[in-house]
A and B are shown apart, each in its own frame.
Chain A
Amino acid sequence: MAKQKAMLIDIKRCIGCLSCETACKQIHGFSPDPEPTLSDTAFTVVETRGDKFVRKVCMHCDDPACASACPVGAIGKSPLGAVVYNADKCIGCRYCMLACPYQVPRYQWTKLAPFVKKCDMCSDRIKAGKSTACAEACPVQATVFGDRDDLIAEAWNRIRGDSSYVPRIYGLEELGGGSVLFVSDVSFEKLGFKPAPTGNQPMPTLTASALGDSPKVVIMGGTILSALYWVTQRRREVALAETEEKATINKSKGERS
């Protein structure tokens, strides 16, 4: 099995040059103008938080909420770790956009045949053994691409080697972890990273228990309703038989007298 890939984003190293943004736009053939937030033509943006720069990009969760929400299974986690979108299956319900805890998927609102757009971790490039476009473009290795295990070791090394780092890798365990990891020298809360709504529990586990019960509900409900129907029918039969019986008795009484 192929080793899971990942990206490590080092907020301490980032100089905010927007090279990753430009490289991403270039490789997808979008206009190179920088955009303030993620859009259907900007799969990554660099946001300024005080004197720090924070890259916003799909977190490529290991158990993605968007993939579990999609009614047709158009989103899935690839063996290499990328969360990829299959435009051929999509019906355009936009439930993935509601489900994503990081508000990453974007929609082509102006198109007549609109699709969902999001970072796919350069799926085709990494399959060919190359690095993601953004990591390749970064001049200061603030974004690096590699095997997830190696990058986790690298992240801990950086944290141990430099006491200014916050001793935490964001994205390692949040919502079950993912393939995009952040290290920083400023606390993540101050940089606008919202605390994960379900802690380290992957969001799809919340609905899984309820959905697992639906076959039971159908079987139980079916049995109860069938039983009710049987009782109703039986009562009707008994009532009918009783009336007939009475009629016969009355008739024979009438004959005797």
Chain B
Amino acid sequence: MIARIKSEITLWRVIIAIIFTTGLYATYVRFFEGFRASTNLSDQMPWGLWVGLGTLCGIGLSAAGFGISAAVYLLGMERYRPILRASILISFLGYLTVMVGYLYEIGLPWRFWHPIVMWNHRSVLFDVCICIMTYMTVLTFEFAPAVIEKLPWKAFRETILRYHHKILIAVVLAGVLLSSCTSLIWAGSS
């Protein structure tokens, strides 16, 4: 038994466990003790470096998804189809990282839905919010078949996939536009 547990412990698993524990602790400090305890943010420096880092890495990763899906679906470059799903997964995870990061970043995360109903069309950040939320929806949609295909109910599965296929192109198109808009606006605003 002990030997089996020992064999399960590998270097990378230990490293990941350390990262997760640190993350859990950071989450606790951020949400139960506040910004002052968890960050070095001040009135002079109200945004942390991780906004740039998270945005560059997370949004940067999403380039894979919209680039490859545009190549395969819109330009018919069939030779890239084998890596299509992997690239969409990477984009999905990238955007998920950004989204989760923002929940830590904003002061009142339970109000994340406010930009959907409270519009300020003069705000650059409003455009970014809407682009990110919509593109997250697009990525979820593009990624969904990978999950739906695993469902045990055949008729249900096939109905969904049929409708999915019908609007896929429109969704891919929206995705390419939105993600380039986000990047452009971010580049313009920062």
Please report A residues at the B interface, Cβ cutoff 8 Å: 37-39, 67-74, 89-95, 97-98, 103, 106-107, 109-115, 204, 207-208, 210-211, 214, 217-218, 221-222, 225-226, 228-229, 232-233, 235-236
Contact = CB atoms under 8 A, between A and B. Distances in A.
Contact of B46 (A67, A107, A214): A107
A107 B47 CA distance: 11
Given A211-B127, A217-B181, A106 B43 contact: yes
* Residue of B31, B36, B46 with highest tally of chain A CB at under 10 A: B46
Interface string B86-107: 0000000000000000000111
A235 B76 contact: yes
Contact of B115 (A91, A208, A233): A91
Contacts of B181: 214, 217-218
B118 A92 contact: no
Given A71-B129, A97-B46, A98-B47, A113 B108 contact: yes
B114 interface: yes
A93 B177 contact: no
Interface residues of B, number: 48
What does DSSP make chain B's interface, helix, strand, loop or mixed? Answer: helix
Interface stretch (B20-28, B67-75, B136-144, B151-159): B67-75
B115 A92 contact: no
Contacts of B188: 207, 210
Contacts of B42: 109
A74 B169 CA distance: 37
B123 A114 contact: no
* Residue of A89, A93, A109, A204 with highest tally of chain B CB at under 10 A: A93
Given A204-B122, A225-B74, A235-B76, A110 B34 contact: yes
Contacts of B163: none
B36 A92 contact: no
Interface in B135-190: 169, 173, 176-177, 180-181, 184-185, 188-189
Of all A-B residue pairs in the complex, the 4 with the closest CB atoms, nearest first, are A92-B107, A73-B120, A232-B76, A71-B126
Interface of B: 31-36, 41-44, 46-47, 70, 73-76, 105-109, 111-112, 114-115, 118-129, 169, 173, 176-177, 180-181, 184-185, 188-189
Contacts of B36: 109-110
Contacts of B169: 229
A226 B115 CA distance: 29
Given A115-B107, A211-B127, A221-B177, A38 B43 contact: yes
A107 B74 contact: no
A204 B123 CA distance: 9
Nearest to A114: B107
Contacts of B74: 225, 228-229, 232
A236 B109 CA distance: 48
Given A71-B115, A73-B119, A111-B34, A95 B177 contact: no
Contacts of A103: 43-44
A69 B120 CA distance: 8
Nearest to A93: B106
Contacts of A69: 123-125
Given A72-B126, A94-B46, A207-B189, A222 B177 contact: yes
Contacts of B111: 90-92
Contacts of A207: 122, 124, 188-189
A85 to B, nearest CB: 13
Nearest to B44: A103
B125 A95 contact: yes
A38 B108 CA distance: 22
A256 to B, nearest CB: 36
A127 to B, nearest CB: 23
